[in-house]
Amino acid sequence: MEIGQLTSATQAPGSQDVTKPPLRHLSAQDRAVQEALRRRAGRKSFLSALSVVDWAFAFLLAGGAGFALYRYSGHMNYYDKLVLDCAVPTFAILGWRWKSLRLLMVLIATLSIGSTLLYQGHLERAETTFFLKYLLSSQSAILWMSALLLLATGFYWLGVLGRSKTGAAIGTMLTWSAVLMGFVGLMVRWYESYLVGADVGHIPISNLYEVFVLFCLITSLFYLYYEQHYNTRALGAFVLLVISAAVCFLMWYSVSRDAQQIQPLVPALQSWWMKIHVPANFIGYGSFALSAMVSVAYLLKERGVLADRLPAIEVLDDVMYKSIAVGFAFFTIATILGALWAAQAWGGYWSWDPKETWALIVWLNYAAWLHMRLMKGLRGSAAAWWALTGLLVTTFAFLGVNMFLSGLHSYGKL
Average pLDDT over residues 293-299: 97
Output the pLDDT for position 12.
45
- CB of 243 closer than 8 Å to CB of 149: yes
> Checking phi first, is residue 170 left (phi over 0); if not, alpha (psi -120 to 50) or beta?
alpha
pLDDT band at 343 (very low <50, low <70, confident <90, very high): confident
- Looking at residues 46-68, what average pLDDT do you find? 89
Which tens digit of pLDDT belongs to each residue from 123-179?
999 999 999 999 999 999 999 999 999 999 999 999 999 999 999 999 999 999 999
CA distance 397 to 292: 15
Q: What band does 32 get if pLDDT is binned at 50, 70 and 90?
A: low
Which pLDDT belongs to residue 376? 92
Average pLDDT in the 357-362 region?
94
Average pLDDT of span 94-109: 94
Among the listed ranges 15-24, 141-150, 317-326, which one has the minimum average pLDDT value?
15-24
| pLDDT score of 408 | 59
Long-range pairs, 359-365, Cβ under 8 A, ≥24: 359/331, 359/335, 359/397, 360/335, 361/393, 361/397, 362/288, 362/331, 362/390, 362/393, 362/394, 362/397, 363/328, 363/331, 363/332, 363/335, 365/390, 365/393
Confidence at residue 407, expressed as pLDDT on a 0 to 100 scale = 59
Q: Does the pTM exceed 0.85?
A: yes
Distance CA 138, CA 191 (A): 9
Percent of the chain topping pLDDT 90: 68
Give the per-residue pLDDT at 268.
76
Contact 154, 168 (CB under 8 A): no
Nearest C-alpha neighbor of 290 from the set 230, 368, 333, 236: 236
Give pLDDT, residue 414.
60
**Average pLDDT of the chain to the nearest whole number:** 88
Residue-wise pLDDT tens digits, 140-156:
999 999 999 999 999 99
More confident residue, 249 or 409: 249
C-alpha separations of 236 from 164, 250, 292, 323, 359 in Å: 13, 20, 13, 15, 28
Region 34-58 average pLDDT: 74
pLDDT category at 352 given cuts 50, 70, 90 is: confident
Mean pLDDT of 57-74: 90
169-173, 286-290, 383-387, 409-413 — which is least confidently predicted? Answer: 409-413
Inter-CA distances, 323 with 3, 193, 240, 276, 364, Å: 38, 34, 15, 20, 16
Q: pLDDT tier at 387 (50, 70, 90 boundaries)?
A: very high
pLDDT at 1 over 50: no
